Amino acid sequence: MDFSEEIRGKAKELLESGTVDCVIGYERATDGVGARPLFVYQPNDIDRLIFDQTCTHNLTKYLLNRKGKATAIVVKPCDSRAINLLINESQVQRDKVSIIGVVCPGVVKAGLDNTSGELQDTCRMCQQHTPVLYDFLVGEPASEADVPDTYPDVTGMEDKSAGERRAFWEEQFSRCIRCYACRQVCPGCYCPECFVERLDPMWVGIRIAPEENEVWNTMRAFHLAGRCIDCNECERVCPVNIPLSLLNRKLGKEVEELFNFQAGIDAETAMPFSTFEKEEKLGISE
Amino acid sequence: MSEFISKKDLLTWLGQLMEERNLVAPTRVDDLLLFSKIDQVEDIVFDFDNTTLSPKEWFYPSSETLFYVEQKDGQTELIPAVIEKETAIFGIRPCDAQGMAMNDFPFLEEPADDLYRQHRDKTALIGLACITACPECFCSSMGSGPHDPANVDILLTEVADGYIAQVLTDKGKALLPDNLLTTADVSSPPAPVLSEVPSDGIAEKMRQAFDEPFWDRLADRCIHCNICSYVCPTCYCFDVRDYTDKERIERVRSWESCQSPGFTRIAGGHDPRSTKGSRLRQRFSHKLLYFPRQFGALGCIGCGRCVRACPVNIDIREIIQDVQQLEVKSEA
């Protein structure tokens, strides 16, 4: 799959017409194989744009740096859900963003080239191959995949005993180096001051040590309950391979079961985290 | 002729070291390759390019207690941290050993950092020369090389059935008993060929590039996490905080990064590096301009970890190249 020409055509049109002053897309990385984000401001940089199955990054986080500025952005289906989330939470103005949606068969594992066909794990469980939100669509709308089990990883974990789960996560979090790459890349993490950086009172200690790492990682996961759009960026960027998506997907599954809600499917449905119905508490205590 | 140690004798020796001191060596932890304290020599990985995280953790831990303050019988007592046990790090690469030598400049310059000095004094480095290299390696452009013996106590180079052993310092002599060494007619394999990075004259170019919009454009892509700083062997910034309870105060330092928002925020709220571009420029200026200016050597040793780990491909090799080619408009 290679949609580079289509993306370039659309970028040229949007930049030259003055509709936007920046197009956020992808270019080839320095290894000659993978992709990296690209900001195009000038028509003569348009030819650097690419789109193929190595384009793994969720670029929507960058929209938060361009508030109020007319911007075009290339999104895959999972990324498009992040824009809905950000519109729903009043972080992105819909009329300032031109969304170039791409029909996505899934992206390949890190280090592999476009032709390898070996998809990332989350892509194999993904049901959404056409963006939920776009102004321009690249590729033929795909019929949605019939994935029989969308949470095999989570149910696999749920089958373990509480003790086993605790031991598993303790070991994973013990490796955390608190680089905060998971937060920095996450479109749902945009607090002007993250709780982990609060100094007075200090909510989480600065010590890069198991107990404090555990507080950091679990609090971040709870803040994303019903907000995570499952782009897997946190897990992809983690330099010590902590399976963060597993944690976020568990909370996503809980929210789906309790509230019949999936983040980012549209921009209007009230978010479970920011609304309260009296009858809700009935289900939660079980 | 070279001094030689067989693979079998090496394992025996490492087993002995493990008994008498902390032995730290590359191990596999899930998909990662990490320097870990060794409990059984079977866990040591010999066949690797380089570890995921740098060995700086063993000189300058990600978190470390500097001292305690305690109340005893009405007296206030300061109890400094003491490193008691000797450590040997096996399998450190020449680039990383160079990195530790670079850290000596800021940490050991008077007034020296006592805890770092204790770690350094009590640690011996048993280096492994590189036979292969990662695609991102560029140590030979940064003042070191895949077979550089300069900063280790012993350098081992793998050959058939064993290792060529170069015992380079008194610390190394004390560590490796003579009777384990034989003389053999083996020669060192060729060093891997690495990509060239044009580092000559980069400090001056960095100075000229200070006000260039280049940095803001680069920062568009940067997500400003701390990965590069934390995987880097020569990034040494830290934060200090007191943990207090009724009985005592513990002063702790932990890694920090110039990429963090608020790293340079001062009382009153002003932040001289409030833009993402200025933070990104700081990291590269520190390595390529300020460090050379202050200590006479480049602050990057070309291990390539930041290139491998960066989620958005901020590539210091490309930055050095781009800065060398920048057409600087005018000198202030």
Q: What is the ipTM of this complex?
A: 0.93
CB of A230 closer than 8 Å to CB of A122 = yes
Shortest CA gap B107–chain A (Å): 20
Q: What is the C-alpha separation between A141 and B153, in angstroms, rounded?
A: 63
Residues 6+ apart with CB under 8 A from B207: B289
Q: Could you tell me the strand order of the sheet in which A97-102 lies?
A: A35-40, A22-28, A71-75, A97-102, A136-138
Chain B residues with CB under 8 Å of a chain A CB are 29-32, 52-53, 62-63, 135, 217, 220-221, 223-227, 229-231, 239, 241, 243, 252, 254-257, 260-262, 276, 307, 309, 311-313, 315, 317-318
Distance of CA A160 to the CA centre of its chain: 27
B207 residue type, one letter? R
Strand, coil or helix: what is B15?
helix
**On the CB side of A79, how many CA atoms lie within 13 Å of its CA?**
26
pLDDT at residue B330, rounded to an integer: 58
A209 residue type, one letter? A
- What's the first-to-final CA gap in chain B, in angstroms? 58
Query: What is the mean pLDDT, run by run of 10 residues, along chain A of 286 residues?
Result: 95 97 97 97 96 97 95 97 97 97 93 88 87 96 75 93 96 95 97 87 87 94 95 95 95 92 93 80 53
Q: What is the C-alpha separation between A206 and A215, in angstroms, rounded?
A: 11
A-to-B residue pairs, Cβ atoms closer than 8 angstroms: 99
The two most distant CA atoms of chain B are separated, in Å, by 69
pLDDT at residue A282, rounded to an integer: 56
Structure tokens at A51: 């789109």
Q: What is the C-alpha separation between A116 and A119, in angstroms, rounded?
A: 8
Which of B243, B262, B311 comes nearest A197 by C-beta? B262
CB of A102 closer than 8 Å to CB of A58 = no
User: Nearest Cα to A182, choosing from A152, A219, A127, A146?
Assistant: A219
pLDDT at residue A249, rounded to an integer: 94
Chain A neighbors of B223, CB-CB under 8 A = 61, 181, 184-185, 237
The pLDDT > 70 percentage for chain B reads 99
Scanning chain B, the segments in alpha helix (DSSP H) are 7-20, 94-108, 114-121, 170-175, 202-208, 214-221, 227-231, 276-285, 291-295, 305-309, 316-325
**pLDDT under 70 in chain B at which residues?**
329-332
Q: Do A38 and B221 touch (CB under 8 A)?
A: yes
Task: State pLDDT tens for residues B60-109.
Answer: 999 999 999 998 888 999 999 999 999 999 999 999 999 999 999 999 99
User: Nearest Cα to A61, choosing from A226, A196, A237?
Assistant: A237
Q: What is the C-alpha separation between A2 and A5, in angstroms, rounded?
A: 8
pLDDT at residue B247, rounded to an integer: 84
Q: Do A239 and B230 touch (CB under 8 A)?
A: yes
Q: What is the C-alpha separation between A274 and A267, in angstroms, rounded?
A: 14
What Rg do the C-alpha atoms of chain B give, in angstroms? Answer: 22
What Rg do the C-alpha atoms of chain A give, in angstroms? Answer: 19
CA dihedral (A193, B235, A28, B279) positive or negative: positive
What's the count of helices (H) and strands (E) in chain B, helices before strands?
Answer: 11, 12
CB of A99 closer than 8 Å to CB of A136 = yes
Q: Could you tell me the strand order of the sheet in which B32-37 lies?
A: B32-37, B22-29, B87-92, B123-128, B154-159, B162-167, B2-6, B182-184
pLDDT at residue B327, rounded to an integer: 82
Q: Interior CA angle at A159 toward A158 and A163, to 5°?
A: 80
**8-state DSSP, B180:** G
Cis peptide before B80 (omega within 30 of 0): no
Shortest CA gap A226–chain B (Å): 24
User: Nearest Cα to B184, choosing from B162, B167, B211?
Assistant: B162
**In chain A, where the domains are located:** 4-138, 152-274
B117 residue type, one letter? R
Cβ neighbours of A193 (radius 10 Å) = 10
CB of B220 closer than 8 Å to CB of A181 = no
Chain B neighbors of A61, CB-CB under 8 A = 223
Q: What is the C-alpha separation between B199 and B266, in angstroms, rounded?
A: 34
Could you tell me what percentage of chain B is helix, strand and coil, using 3-state DSSP and rounding each to the nearest 5? 35, 25, 45
**In chain B, where the domains are located:** 2-184, 202-325
